[in-house]
Structure 1
Amino acid sequence: MEWWGWLLIAAGAVALGAIAQRAGWIDLSGGGRRGGSGGGLVGIGDEVFNPTRHEASIELDRQTTLPAPAPIPGDGDLGVIQVDGDPDAGDGYRGVIRL
């Protein structure tokens, strides 16, 4: 295949990616990433050549990520369940809860 054929294929792939990004099929913004210690190639190098540091980094990430607090009895319904029995009475959850 000629060089211009490869160039057309690459341009088509870039155009398809741009269309998919704009249509919302894929998300290439990188906003879902969160900072952490030891990511990328440095993390791989630490995992192979310095496993103690890698394990410490994983433990640090585990300790800094806090779970959501458990509800306590005094919290009320938090807007999820209508206490008065009328589902149209307030701004509560409008979906379905399956137990």
Structure 2
Amino acid sequence: MNKKYEKQQPTFYDIWVVSQAAAYLTNQACTISARNINDGVVRLQFNREVAYYARSIVRDVEEGMKTIDQGLKEIRREQKSLAVTGAECNTVIELKLEHHAA
């Protein structure tokens, strides 16, 4: 994004872009939790928390509390964090499987 977005009220398209990024974040959380969280209640809570967080970013952009760039960067940062967490969980699971196979 460029500087013009920081000084203007977000357009419908801008809100859509941030909402789409938030939806991708929520989908990523669902995928990671399905692979790594066995307890259904805990999985549901995790997914709900990520969805609420993503929605709060969209709301902040809609209300002008955050710029579009800030909202997208925050979502991107959370996606990276989830990716790292998911990779760490997969490594732990693989190590446990190797240990049981030995």
Q: TM-score, normalised by structure 2?
A: 0.27
Structure 1 or 2: more helix by fraction: 2
Report 1 or 2 for greater relative contact order, CA contacts < 8 Å, sequence distance ≥ 6: 2
The higher radius of gyration belongs to 1
